[in-house]
A and B are shown apart, each in its own frame.
Chain A
Amino acid sequence: MEEVLRVEHLMKTFGSNEVLRDIDFSVYKGDVISIIGSSGSGKSTLLRCINMLEDATGGRILYHGEDILDGSVNEDRYRTKVGMVFQTFNLFNNHTVLSNCMLGQLKVLHRSREEARQKSMEYLAKVGMEQYINAKPRQLSGGQKQRVAIARALAMDPEVLLFDEPTSALDPEMVGEVLDVMKILAGSGMTMLVVTHEMAFARDISKRVVYMADGRIEEEGPPEEIFGNPKSQRTRDFLSRFSG
């Protein structure tokens, strides 16, 4: 299978605080990987390093074999290929729903207005938000905002989508609508890397689960193995807190 991303010996320190210590893993085309772990284990930082929102302190991140950290790769071009969905949505407050989805297509991909609009409508329909194209972000609920944010990311035709705790800032009754959209995406073959606290989602949707602790990958494997028969004691302890 085609390897899209490979993370090698990735390190990240904030001052003297080691957040990521020697992370190694690969993302293949069509992979749906859930990254689980307690707060502070470095999950979000890992995702932010992959999207270059944080500068990794050491190691390599290979995108189709090319190291994105050595300065030879155009950062902005790379980011159009590796989209990101944030915990806090980060929709542009000064733009309508439609304009949020069109802006990147117009300014970065230089698509025509017609094409950008058509693409936006297509993906807004996919997330069930096509009726809200004239709304401003402040007029939407959290779940609606997150669905628009997913449509915005999809409209750039990314190869990989990174989700940074996409449902953590939502009211419980809105979590479902966002997870539903993500399930559809996973089913459609999108390559996804999801940092999540939704264990049911991680178990049912992902092809692989990565459990992180203290900036390291403690255990990695198919969901039935991680959830059914975890090898590491730490993984067992972590998961037992969810089954209650």
Chain B
Amino acid sequence: MTIAEMNFPERMLYILQHYGGSLAKGAATTMAIAIICTLLGCVIGFAVGLIQTTEPHKKDGMLKRGFLKVVKVILTAYVEVFRGTPMMLQAAFIYYGMSQLFGINLGMWSAAILIVSINTGAYMAETVRGGILSVDPGQSEGARAIGMSHVQTMLYVVLPQALRNIMPQIGNNLIINIKDTCVLSIIGTVELFFTFKSISGALYTYFEAASVTMIIYFVLTFACSRILRRVEERMDGPSSFDLATTDTLAFTSGLASYNDRTGGTH
């Protein structure tokens, strides 16, 4: 039976049998790029977001203030340019620009990771900035009031809460990245969309190839969104807590004793 004689499900099965390996490989490449780039994008985003929300200390001199201001302007330009232009063009711009201007031929992987990370970082920078601003200023006042430095306050109090607040957005970015790596086909990265194009080009079965590939994309994104939801629940911790058993240590102070009945100190 030739492919022309098959019906729709038979053609899909045929694609899976003959191109299953390529599809799996393409899907793996897509996932690898999406996950690595989302993580790297988060790192870039946290770094940029942190600098953007840093206010100069009152004791800082003109030089330090000026430096901070210049860095902020550069970072704002980065964010605006990479959010404001299509990633497909950024891919072409960086990939061909590197080779034409600097004679650097980026490999498929390094080009893909560089472009998607930088692009994700630009979005994440704004997300992180929003996440930091969403944490109640009282949290950092509480930390400063017990003598924690700005860095300690950010590290142990503000950023963990900001991270929790922006988890849904990080999930969004991961899912967007899984789908948007398809624009890398312009520079020849063999990911899932590239595989789809090869299959449909070889067999002239666009509808069936698209159906199979769409299902794979959906399974990947749906699985990721479920997993991230579980991660969020883990971050929130249990909804109930155990009352600690009364420690003998607890009563050594002698100043107050705990009254179970009234729930106060007497």
Contacts and interface: CB of A to CB of B under 8 A. Distances in A.
B139 A92 contact: yes
A153 B237 CA distance: 25
B49 to A, nearest CB: 18
Contacts of A79: 144-147
Contacts of A83: 145-146
Nearest to B164: A94
B60 to A, nearest CB: 11
Contacts of B161: 93-94
B259 A128 contact: yes
Given A51-B145, A80-B147, 17 more contacts: A53-B144, A76-B148, A79-B145, A83-B146, A86-B141, A90-B142, A93-B139, A94-B161, A95-B157, A108-B147, A108-B148, A121-B247, A122-B250, A125-B250, A133-B244, A184-B265, A188-B255
Contact of A152 (B146, B259, B266): B146
A156 B241 CA distance: 26
Nearest to A153: B146
Contacts of B244: 130-134
Interface of B: 58-59, 136, 138-139, 141-149, 152, 156-157, 160-161, 164, 237, 240-244, 246-247, 249-253, 255-256, 258-259, 263-266
A80 B139 CA distance: 16
A55 interface: yes
B243 A94 contact: no
Contacts of A134: 241-244
Contacts of B263: 128, 177
A128 B142 contact: no
A210 interface: no
A27 B202 CA distance: 86
Interface in A146-182: 149, 152-153, 156, 176-177, 180-181
A107 B156 contact: yes
9 smallest CB-CB distances across A and B, nearest first, come from: A90-B142, A125-B250, A80-B147, A104-B146, A84-B145, A130-B250, A90-B138, A79-B147, A128-B265
A132 B246 CA distance: 10
A55 B243 CA distance: 42
Contact of A177 (B156, B157, B265): B265
27 contacts: A53-B144, A83-B145, A86-B141, A86-B145, A89-B142, A90-B141, A92-B157, A104-B143, A104-B147, A109-B147, A122-B253, A125-B249, A125-B256, A125-B258, A126-B265, A130-B247, A131-B243, A133-B244, A149-B142, A152-B146, A176-B264, A177-B264, A177-B265, A180-B265, A181-B256, A184-B255, A188-B255
Contacts of B242: 134
Nearest to A99: B156
A91 interface: yes
A127 interface: yes
A194 B253 CA distance: 24
Contact of A121 (B144, B147, B249): B249
